[in-house]
């Protein structure tokens, strides 16, 4: 089973920019309780990627750089 975590930035006049932040692959069966949810490493990596993109978007906005 896999998921793609996507951020969607909404800009002026409804313009949108989307970015696939991370793909998460997890086993489909729950034979092991440790396979339930995200691992700590995956959670940290996801947060790191989201934080990086949010900060970049804020910097673009402050610099008045338009969305692509």
Q: Which residues contact 11 (CB under 8 A, 6 or more apart)?
A: 17, 66, 67
pLDDT class of 67 with cuts at 50, 70, 90:
low
Confidence of residue 65 (pLDDT cuts 50, 70, 90): low
Q: Give yes or no for residue 32 having a pLDDT over 90.
A: no
Residue 29 belongs to a domain: no
The pair of structure tokens assigned to 57 is 């978007």
51 located within any domain: yes
- Indicate whether 50 pLDDT > 80: yes
Question: Whole-angstrom Cα distance, residue 48 to residue 58?
Answer: 15
Phi-psi category of 39—alpha, beta or left, where left has phi over 0 and alpha has psi -120 to 50?
A: beta
Does the reported pTM lie above 0.75?
no
The verdict on residue 68 lying in a domain is no
Average of per-residue pLDDT across 28-54: 88
Instruction: Give the C-alpha separation, 9 to 19, whole Å.
Output: 8
**Number of folded domains in the chain?**
1
Domain range for 8 is 2-24+37-62
């Amino acid at each position: 089973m896999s998921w793609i975590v996507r951020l969607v930035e909404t800009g002026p006049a409804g313009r949108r920019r989307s970015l696939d932040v991370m793909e998460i692959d997890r086993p489909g069966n729950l034979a092991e309780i440790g396979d339930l949810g995200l691992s700590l490493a995956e959670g940290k990596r996801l947060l790191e990627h989201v934080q990086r993109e949010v900060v970049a978007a804020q910097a673009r906005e402050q610099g008045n750089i338009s969305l692509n």
